[in-house]
Structure 1
Amino acid sequence: MVALAGLNSRWEAFAQLLTLLVVFIFVLALTYFATRWAGNMQKTKMAGRNIQILETMRVSNTKYIQIIKIGSKCFAVAVCKDTITYLSEINEQELTYSSESKTINTDGFKAILEKFKKDKPDN
């Protein structure tokens, strides 16, 4: 009878472990899909047709200068921690674009990781 009780407690422990594993996987999957849904929702909200950030340059840790295009006009603004300050209007013909700034990196994480692996010097 004692051996049977020990066997039952092992099965109960195994069932609890299996249940915990299933719940853990469910929570991970739920978190993954919720994050993707929230990211896609943010992306569609941020993708405007009339406002574009053409270039950003870091001045210090919390200060940036950005060139933005609103409609057909370009502006330079200073972006700080709590404020955005208008600097000037810029003629778009005066701007120069490099081939890198025109292309948006749409590579996946794996492609970016492979690029960094190739660039890493062998020790």
Structure 2
Amino acid sequence: MILLSSSLNSFIQLLGVLLIFLFVLVITYFTTKWIGGYQKVQMSGRSFQVVDTIRIANNKLVQVIKMGDVYLVIAVAKDNVTMLAKLTEEEMGLTEAEICNGKTPGQNGEKGQMTFQETLEKLKEHFPKKQD
């Protein structure tokens, strides 16, 4: 009888711990969704939009940011931000719908994501060649 009551007691404790764990998971999930929605609303009124980001190394990124009709290509490092290029919509060759949908034309005109190599080649066209 004592063995049965101790195993039943252990089982009830296990159920209690599992219920508390599930409660914490549910609270964490809804808190994360609430914070994400709040941040989305806060960022929607901004005058700029991050079009694309690529990580080069730890704490080093290259970002394309749209500000009005101008696109800025910036390098973001741990302690500083450097502007690499300033492009117009014509130089980027993108339409507003393609930017909003996250789709950019491929090299052969087909729909799809541009590879980093294609994006880099497109950006190189706008920089003057280095004279040796």
TM over 0.5: yes
Unaligned runs of 5+ in 1: 106-123
- Give the deviation of 1:45 after TM superposition: 2.6
- Give the deviation of 1:48 after TM superposition: 3.9
Kept in 1, the 8 Å contact 2:47–2:68? The answer is: yes
Structure-1-length-normalised TM-score: 0.61
- Give the deviation of 1:84 after TM superposition: 1.0
Could you say which structure has the larger radius of gyration?
1
Structure-2-length-normalised TM-score: 0.58
Correspondence 1:26 to 2:23: yes
The amino acid of 1:64's aligned partner reads L
Give the match's secondary structure for 1:86.
Answer: strand
- Give the deviation of 1:49 after TM superposition: 4.3
Correspondence 1:65 to 2:62: yes
Q: CA RMSD in A?
A: 2.8
- Give the deviation of 1:71 after TM superposition: 2.5
- Considering Cα pairs closer than 8 Å and 6+ residues apart, tell me whether 1 or 2 has the greater RCO: 1
- Give the deviation of 1:46 after TM superposition: 3.0
Instruction: Output one character per residue of 1:72-92: Cα deviation in whole Å (capped at 9) or x when no partner.
Output: 333232222221112343222
Unaligned runs of 5+ in 2: 104-132
Residue identity over aligned pairs, in percent, reads: 39
Report the count of equivalent residues.
101
